[in-house]
Copies of this chain bind each other. A is one copy, B any other.
Amino acid sequence: MNKVILVGRLAQDPEVRYTQSGKAVASFSLAVNRFGGGAQGQNNADFIPIVAWEKLAETCGNNLTKGQRVLVEGRLQIRSYETNDGQKRRIAEVVAQSIEFLERKQASTGDAGNIDVNSFGKDVFPEEEIPF
């Protein structure tokens, strides 16, 4: 069991990239407030990296924008990578299995009349690297 459930707002628009084999990968940072979003100041949030793969990645790219509130269900993954100067680092991120839209996309961003309020993804343990 490796289960993560988060409710928060996108801190940025999702970025969608493609692996060499053509798989879509969306990534964004989710601002998860620690104390209910009250008046406790602007720093009371965890900014949690989210990645989504394939069909779910494309749903994110097409339907999510900065500021939108979502529920993310996924698993917590520790990924190793090397910095440009050769240091080994570890990064934690949540690999989304499903994303529930708790708000519609902002009207200003374009039409959003008919999107599904839920979109389900598959759990993936991809062999491929996340492209940078």
Contact = CB atoms under 8 A, between A and B. Distances in A.
Contacts of A91: 92
From DSSP, what is the main secondary structure of chain A's interface residues? strand
A87 B92 CA distance: 18
Interface residues on A, range: 20 to 34
Given A7-B100, A94-B76, A36 B116 contact: yes
B102 A102 contact: yes
A102 B125 CA distance: 22
A48 to B, nearest CB: 6
Given A1-B32, A92-B92, 5 more contacts: A3-B4, A3-B73, A5-B5, A35-B125, A36-B117
